[in-house]
Structure 1
């Protein structure tokens, strides 16, 4: 069952981040900036489930999600749906994956202002 829609003009942002403290802080920053945060979730599987059950305006994805898992399949699904995303990652090496070629990167560590500005550039 899809989640209820946020109030008008509130942007719904998916956060995929496996580091708990970073995820909580990003959620807090985004909520303070007026976004409705979906998640955060630490895995590709959970992220894909949320994508199918929520209308999203954008997403913030950590590239490496632990145990060899990446957010590339999540980015691919978002791109198919026309949902913009950015990678927020500490991994400065680009893998060459197609998903990384279509989304901007925000390198960790970053501050709230950097995250909000990067998201605002994605949104129409």
Structure 2
């Protein structure tokens, strides 16, 4: 990891997930974290210098697949790691088609596995 902090935005309607991920990713100081529980709010105020978005697919206000192109329109170089507990091949293919860099299943096998996946995506 370089000495420059990476800016990560987490968008998930579950506050427990937001808090857990923010706490885990903030612990080493390598990431600056912004969280949103509503993708509509994230779209309207996405920081311009966002390096990575962790985006849940299933949310009540707007699903992640609908939010994805709108988020990338604001910052096309941002990497997006989709998160889902309900993966189907169709959702995975659509996520890649709409610009997602990768995806990970929830619940996470471990936070360290998630951390490793985040580092892989940031290198792409």
The two structures have a TM-score, normalised by structure 2, of: 0.79
Residue 38 of structure 1 pairs with residue 34 of structure 2? yes
Aligned to 1:58: 52
Does the 8 Å contact 2:10/2:53 carry over to 1?
Answer: yes
Residue 78 of structure 1 deviates from its aligned partner by 3.9
Q: Which runs of 5+ in 1 are unaligned?
A: 1-7
Residue 48 of structure 1 deviates from its aligned partner by 0.4
* Count of residues in Structure 1 that have an aligned counterpart in Structure 2: 114
Residues 77-119 of structure 1: CA deviation (Å, up to 9, x unaligned): 3434211011111112244487512421110111211221111
Distance 1:99 1:112 in 2: 25
Counterparts of residues 1-124 of structure 1 (less than 5 Å): 9-33=4-28, 34-39=30-35, 41-51=36-46, 53-67=47-61, 69-80=62-73, 81-96=76-91, 100-101=95-96, 102-103=99-100, 104-110=102-108, 111-124=110-123
Aligned to 1:3: none
The two structures have a TM-score, normalised by structure 1, of: 0.79
